[in-house]
Amino acid sequence: MFDVLVYLYENYWRPDACPDHAQLTRKLSAVGFENDEIQEALSWLDGLAHAAQTHAGSQGPLSMRVFTQAEQEQLGEECMGFISFLESAGVLPAPMREIVIDRAMVSNGSPMSLEDLKIIVLMVFWSLGEEPDALILDELFVDAADRLIH
C-alpha cells in the first residue's frame, strides 16, 4: 500500500489532480501494482479524506496528546518520538497530528516502521494541499543513515 501512496505523491501534485478511482485503478495496475495493494491504498485515501474533514479544527494549539495503549503499541516509541519532534518543531499542528495518528492506526504492522509513518505524514500534508518546508521534507525523505555530518 505504501508504495502506491508514494507513487501518487510523486505523480499527482494534489489529491484533486488524481483521476476517479476506476481510472486511477487502471493506471496503477498498468504501472505494475497489484489489485489488492491498489484497493487498500484507495480505501486508505478515502479514510484520509474523511479524517481530514473530521479533525479539521478539532484541537486547540495548546492541547496535549496522551496516547492510548493501542496507539502506543501500533506506533511504538520511535514513531511517537517522531510525531513529538514534528509537533515541537511547529510543523505538525494538533489537527494534523490527529489525522496522522488516525491513519497510522488503520495501517498494517505493529509497531509501525518510521519509514511508513513518514509516508503517512507526507500524505497528510499532500491531502490538505500543504507543502512542508524544505527541512521537514529532508527529514521525511532522507534516511538518517545516508546523512552526511559536517
Q: Measure Cα distances from 131 to 26, 30, 145 in Å.
A: 28, 28, 25
The residue written with cell numbers 494534489 in the block is: 14
- Please give the grid coordinates belonging to residue 69: 495503549
Q: What phi, psi does 30 have (nearest 5°)?
A: -65, -30
Tell me the angle at which helices 35-55 and 21-31 cross, rounded to the nearest 10 degrees.
Answer: 140
Over residues 5-54, the pLDDT tens digits come to 999 988 987 888 889 999 999 999 999 999 999 999 999 999 999 988 88
pLDDT digits (tens, 9 = 90+) for 81-114: 999 999 988 889 889 999 999 999 998 877 899 9
Please state whether the predicted TM-score (pTM) of the whole model is above 0.75: yes
Q: For the chain, where are the E strands, in sequence order? A: none
76: cell is 511504538
Q: Where are the domains of the chain?
A: 2-146
